[in-house]
Amino acid sequence: MRSDASWLENIITEFIASSPENSLRNEENERAWDQPLVGFSRGDDPLYPFFKEDIGPFYWTPEEIMSLTFPGVALAPGRLTVISWVLPHTAATRSDNAAQKDLPAERWSRARNFGEDCNHALARHVVSLLAARGIMAVAPTLSPLWAWQEAEKYGFASNWSERHAAYVSGLGTFGLCDGLITRRGKAMRCGSVVAALAVEPTPRPYTSCRQYCLFYSGEKCRKCAARCPVGAVTDDGHDKEKCRRYLFETAAPNAEARYGFASYGCGLCQTGVPCEAGIPAPGD
Ligand code: SF4
Ligand code: SF4
């Protein structure tokens, strides 16, 4: 099982280190992502059915997305693994975006667009290498069945959340603005694949889902709230609708007009904050 974990970690790390897909597609052909973090969780981890209960019946457990992808094949949840990764933004992208006040930096917009293409290519790469070994696997967010839904408690949500998979897989905890704070910080994107393969789960070095956020540990902080140009982050958390309106009505048209592609990135609350590039320490 450990050798499978090492093999998967190597596949992911090697892809990000050497694939031409890892590019901002700018004149300098800079890379979009730094070295990834990789974590694993069991398909029968009780957090997955808990999310379904909490978010809504449309939310997939690992077993459900595998059954939908491979109908008629019986797969015990305990024999499934969620392979999750975190792709940290580069220092140049973080620094550019941290200097912005109202609109995302060009590098950030590029990473959200072309870097996300790379993230998808990585997911397809992992699935195809597993398939070459005869192992059934699916990237839930690339499934044709993946869709946005309306959750009674949380507003719009989808049937699979990369950040939730990363949280279960020991990679980080949620901040006030809903971003996942990882060892490499909150300025990142993540991805995942569910596979019919038993891999030792990554220990979760936390006991609560908000553990790494200074706001919830009595330090107040609120730096991410101060960074949001539309007040979508408050002491009550992240107003997803307000955020989405800004992404679709302001950030995307701005990127289209200035750079020639509609990028839905913003990330102002992910940069210029103490949790940008690591787990913040009290007093940061
Ligand atoms: S900026 Fe502060 S309050 Fe916001 S997520 Fe990071 S640690 Fe938490
Ligand atoms: S992504 Fe942008 S609009 Fe959305 S909460 Fe963060 S700073 Fe605000």
Which residue stretches of 19-105 are H helix?
47-55, 62-69, 91-98
Render pLDDT for 143-196 as a digit per residue (tens, 0 to 9): 999 998 888 888 888 999 999 999 999 999 999 999 999 999 999 999 999 999
Ligand in nearest proximity to the CA of 179 = 1
pTM of the shown model:
0.97
State which of 233, 240, 248 you would mutate to test the pocket of ligand 2, scoring each by most atoms of that ligand within 8 A of its C-beta: 233
pLDDT at 67: 97
Query: What distance in angstroms lies between residue 72's CA and the mean position of ligand 2's atoms?
Result: 42
Q: Which residues contact 97 (CB under 8 A, 6 or more apart)?
A: 89, 104, 105, 107, 108, 187, 267, 268, 270, 271, 272
Atom of ligand 1 nearest to the CA of 179: 5
Q: Is 64 helix (H, G, I), strand (E, B) or coil?
A: helix
The CB of 272 under 6 Å from ligand 1? The reply is no
User: Would you state the pLDDT for residue 284?
Assistant: 77
Atom of ligand 1 nearest to the CA of 176: 5
User: Per the structure block, which two tokens stand in for 44?
Assistant: 């029968």
For 100, the token pair is 């912005």
With a 6 Å cutoff on the Cβ, whether 228 touches ligand 2 is yes
SS3 172: strand
pLDDT at 18: 98
Q: Give per-residue pLDDT as tens, 63-79.
A: 999 999 999 998 999 99
Residue 232 to residue 227: CA distance in whole angstroms: 10
Residue 9 has phi, psi (to 5 degrees) of -60, -40
- Ligand 2: centre distance to CA 110 (Å): 17
Alpha helix locations (H) across the chain? 2-18, 47-55, 62-69, 91-98, 106-110, 116-132, 162-168, 223-227, 240-246, 252-259
Q: Which residues in the chain land under pLDDT 70?
A: 1
